[in-house]
Amino acid sequence: MKEYSIDRIRNIGLVGHGGAGKTTLSEALLYTMGATTRLGKIAEGTTVSDYHPDEIERKVSIETSLLHGEWKEWKINILDMPGYSDFLGGAKGSFRVVDAAVVVLNGVEGLEVGTDQVLEFADGYGTPRLFFVNRMDNEHSDFDKVLQMTRDRFGNGVVAFQFPANHGEGFNRIVDLLKMKLLTFEPDSKGRAQVSDLPADLAGKAQQMRQKIVEAAAESDDDLLNQFFEAGDLTDEQVQAGLRKGILAGKLYPVLCGSAERNIGSAELMDFVGSYGPAPDDFIKVQGFGPDGKTAAERKISETDPLSCYVFKTISEAHVGELSLIRVYSGILKSGEEALNSTAKQNEKVGQIYLLNGKTRHEIGQLKAGDIGALVKLKYTATGNTLCDKKAPFILPPVHYPEPVFSIAVKPKSRGDEDKISHGLHVLHEEDPSFKVVVDPELHQTILSGQGDLHLRVILNRLRQKFGVEVTEERPKIPYRETITGKSDEKYRHKKQTGGAGQFAEVWMRVEPLPTGGGFEFENIVKGGAISGPFIPSIEKGVHQVLESGPLAGYRVVDVKAIVYDGKEHPVDSKDIAFQVAGREVFKECVLKARPILLEPIYDVEIKIPEDSMGDVMGDLSGRRGKIMGMDSTGRMQIIKAKVPLAELDQYATTLRSITSGRGLYARTFSHYEPVPKDQEMRIIEEYKKSKSEVQA
């Protein structure tokens, strides 16, 4: 491959709802560029980007795949991103490094919930975008409907640059509104169109639609707008300059169309990306931080500024080895040289550098500013790290992944596999930071949390395949809390005689509730030396044992004040352990007589659904003890905001997708604790007593 200057590189991400045709479009683009010799098929498991066994088996994209090719005077890097909601975390990580998003829309359904989600990522990064309306060969496709739907959602900046002349099963013609020509695609034409003049029946509509393009170009620049008002038109060069400026500024959203499966429109899409899409240096600078990770700093996007690169993904597969996918923002990354991992504060030796097409690798000697490639897995470097010039440290901001919405607990099937599981999950988290692993000492469980059931199925499958360990799944326990609603006053005497030195301690204590969030307070008001000073910490130590596992149902005790006010000791038999036992037991009795209750975690939940699912989702929330806090809308999607007990959110991501036919998404964040309803509380306490008696038996 020849070397390309930074202004001739295009970095695009194929994004959209699962099933819209992104992977099929990537096949068409590679084939049209000559990077492959045939069009792979998802059904046959032969696509370049969906090469992982899980992807071939499930027929969905799970990972972002890096692809590239040469088209005319441009090098085009393509990131084929997953659209299925369980794997959107990976898409967000990849958005960090693309310069434009090609949003693939289903020509029948139009904007779907997965599209909305990835466009929120695009908004967060300020990523320019264009729309490709796919599946124009479907008999139910409707370009005008999808165009209007998109315009309703994103405003008048949505402008068609093409439209199908004969959408439906016989689709093979597109009207190009920039050239004002008719493009006809014959079977086996390898994506190349025959160009002809517009027929009379299409010319009027085309002229009206082209006028909107010229107006959009003019509105992107004050000078062009003045020129347009004076002359009534713009030159082709002025139109191109205005369109590029409007797209880069995020004011103009071009709409193109085609059929990825029939390879119709792929060449025109690449022509458009090359001519009108942003180049890496159009963004001028990249923002980051100095070596302290706090002081704002920036780098010019050029080969002459010091090196700065961002690792946006880690791959560890048997057939490709361990690779770090990397975007170079400034400078030149060269094989054999050293770079500083400014995130981990470690020097790294740069080994082989590759260009990728799925699992196929092509070695190169260097990677210049603006380009994307892969490095042989580095010793200290993980996803989200920055590599830079050792003499000019610079840190690029990491990606903040969506919070998990689905959790399971796991334990090893075989004894002795704990370390293997811990290591395996750590490695898998480095590859995919959108899932989390927490070893919860309070609940004595290892909790895996991700974006959905399928997401965690894939993680566990890889744990088994790559690390040879299997786990048993459990429901995650709920971190309830115990507290008191009244006051109580008790005394406890611990007396033990076993022949020789005995144990003796007597503690008088009262407890009272603290305000919510008050935690725990311990106060000593013993007077007259009834309990010696050295034994007071022993009493508190005993109390802390109960705080970790409360007397009501074994959960942590919160918002309680314990006051030791009297007691007795023995000159020989009183010792540390005796006062620990007395402190523990008197505190238990005090809590149990101070009207104890259970508290449960409540989460703020935001649910995004189509309007026709509102009734079913609201009814389901009501059955989950949810409290509706408000409603909003964004485009065709409705947003429900509610507070729901965590205990009722188990498997909710799966249920929501079932209710909404896969069109619903939700996010959750912890809000607060509140009392458990009495019937639920009784059930939890009974289960605790039953499990305790089984252990003792």
The reported pLDDT for the residue numbered 663 is 78
From residue 83, alpha-carbon distances to 21, 61, 71 in Å are: 10, 7, 26
Confidence of residue 320 (pLDDT cuts 50, 70, 90): low
The reported pLDDT for the residue numbered 473 is 93
Residue 576 CB partners (closer than 8 Å, separation 6+): 534, 535, 538
Q: Which residues pair with 182 in a beta bridge?
A: 175, 196
Closest residue by Cα to residue 133 from 273, 23, 265, 274? 265
SS3 of 507, please? strand
Residue 500 has pLDDT above 80, yes or no: no
Using CA atoms, how far apart are residues 457 and 597, in angstroms rounded to an integer? 37
SS3 of 45, please? coil
Closest residue by Cα to residue 11 from 95, 83, 104? 95
Contact call for residues 622 and 651 (beta carbons, < 8 A): no
From residue 132, alpha-carbon distances to 172, 185, 273, 402, 582 in Å are: 16, 17, 11, 26, 73
Q: Which residues pair with 257 in a beta bridge?
A: 133
Enter the pTM of the model: 0.86
The reported pLDDT for the residue numbered 695 is 66
- pLDDT tens by residue, 598-627: 999 999 999 988 888 999 999 999 999 999
From residue 640, alpha-carbon distances to 570, 617, 629, 654 in Å are: 64, 9, 8, 17
DSSP class of 264: B
Using CA atoms, how far apart are residues 94 and 566, in angstroms rounded to an integer? 64
**Strand (E) or helix (H) holding 117:** helix 113-125
Contact call for residues 524 and 533 (beta carbons, < 8 A): no
From residue 220, alpha-carbon distances to 102, 159, 210, 243, 602 in Å are: 20, 13, 16, 7, 47
The reported pLDDT for the residue numbered 630 is 94
N- to C-terminal Cα separation, the chain:
72
Q: Which residues pair with 667 in a beta bridge?
A: 606
When pLDDT is averaged across residues 327-342 and rounded to a whole number, the result is: 96
Contact call for residues 122 and 12 (beta carbons, < 8 A): no
Q: What is the mean pLDDT of the chain?
A: 92
Confidence of residue 181 (pLDDT cuts 50, 70, 90): very high
- Whether the domain at 285-388 and the domain at 482-594 fall into the same CATH topology: no
145 burial type by CB count under 10 A (0-12 exposed, 13-18 middle, 19+ buried): middle
For 609, phi then psi, to 5°, come to -145, 160
Residue with tokens 């290892």: 446
| CATH fold of the domain at 6-198+250-283 | Rossmann fold (3.40.50)
Residue ranges of domains in the chain = 6-198+250-283, 285-388, 412-474, 482-594, 598-679
Using CA atoms, how far apart are residues 648 and 625, in angstroms rounded to an integer? 7
When pLDDT is averaged across residues 552-580 and rounded to a whole number, the result is: 94
When pLDDT is averaged across residues 317-346 and rounded to a whole number, the result is: 90
Q: Residues of the chain with pLDDT > 70: what percent?
A: 98
Using CA atoms, how far apart are residues 227 and 218, in angstroms rounded to an integer? 8
Using CA atoms, how far apart are residues 220 and 238, in angstroms rounded to an integer? 11
Confidence of residue 116 (pLDDT cuts 50, 70, 90): confident
Contact call for residues 514 and 560 (beta carbons, < 8 A): yes
Closest residue by Cα to residue 187 from 99, 267, 261, 88? 261
Which spans in 549-632 are helix H? 576-592, 614-623
Residue 187 has pLDDT above 90, yes or no: no
Which spans in 264-371 are helix H? 266-276
- pLDDT tens by residue, 282-311: 999 999 999 988 899 999 999 999 999 999
Residue 133 has pLDDT above 60, yes or no: yes
Closest residue by Cα to residue 97 from 488, 465, 414, 398? 398
3-state SS, one letter per residue, for 441-499: CCCCEEEEEECCHHHHHHHHHHHHHHHCCCEEEECCCCCCEEEECCCEEEEEEEEECCC
Using CA atoms, how far apart are residues 352 and 653, in angstroms rounded to an integer? 41
313 burial type by CB count under 10 A (0-12 exposed, 13-18 middle, 19+ buried): buried
Q: What is the dihedral of CA 236, 240, 245, 248, to 10 degrees?
A: 160
SS3 of 164, please? strand
What is the number of alpha carbons within 13 Å of residue 355 lying toward its C-beta?
A: 19
- pLDDT tens by residue, 382-427: 899 999 999 999 999 989 888 888 999 999 998 888 889 998 998 8
When pLDDT is averaged across residues 183-208 and rounded to a whole number, the result is: 91
Give the architecture-level CATH label for domain 598-679. 2-Layer Sandwich (3.30)
Amino acid at 491: K
Closest residue by Cα to residue 518 from 481, 566, 549? 481
SS3 of 693, please? helix
482-594 belongs to CATH 3.30.230.10: yes
Using CA atoms, how far apart are residues 203 and 395, in angstroms rounded to an integer? 53
Amino acid at 254: P
Length of the chain: 697
When pLDDT is averaged across residues 569-573 and rounded to a whole number, the result is: 88
Contact call for residues 485 and 513 (beta carbons, < 8 A): yes
Using CA atoms, how far apart are residues 97 and 152, in angstroms rounded to an integer? 28
Is the CA virtual torsion 594, 600, 601, 603 positive or negative? negative
Residue 166 has pLDDT above 60, yes or no: yes
Give the architecture-level CATH label for domain 412-474. 2-Layer Sandwich (3.30)
The reported pLDDT for the residue numbered 322 is 82
The reported pLDDT for the residue numbered 129 is 96
Residue 319 has pLDDT above 70, yes or no: no
Range scoring the smallest mean pLDDT among 210-224, 225-239, 340-354, 635-649:
225-239
Using CA atoms, how far apart are residues 637 and 167, in angstroms rounded to an integer? 27
When pLDDT is averaged across residues 239-262 and rounded to a whole number, the result is: 94
Contact call for residues 565 and 508 (beta carbons, < 8 A): yes
Contact call for residues 8 and 74 (beta carbons, < 8 A): yes
**Strand (E) or helix (H) holding 65:** strand 65-71
Residue 189 has pLDDT above 80, yes or no: no
Confidence of residue 89 (pLDDT cuts 50, 70, 90): confident
When pLDDT is averaged across residues 187-214 and rounded to a whole number, the result is: 91
Query: Token pair for residue 276?
Result: 């009108």
Closest residue by Cα to residue 63 from 11, 29, 26? 26
Residue 244 has pLDDT above 70, yes or no: yes
Confidence of residue 318 (pLDDT cuts 50, 70, 90): low
Which spans in 9-139 are helix H? 22-33, 53-58, 88-95, 113-125
The reported pLDDT for the residue numbered 131 is 98
Using CA atoms, how far apart are residues 457 and 56, in angstroms rounded to an integer? 15
From residue 601, alpha-carbon distances to 27, 481, 538, 616, 643 in Å are: 47, 8, 32, 25, 10
- What class has domain 285-388? mainly beta
Residue 522 has pLDDT above 80, yes or no: yes
Query: Token pair for residue 140?
Result: 């139910």
Using CA atoms, how far apart are residues 622 and 620, in angstroms rounded to an integer? 5
Contact call for residues 225 and 216 (beta carbons, < 8 A): no
When pLDDT is averaged across residues 164-190 and rounded to a whole number, the result is: 91
The reported pLDDT for the residue numbered 499 is 67
Query: Token pair for residue 687?
Result: 């289960």
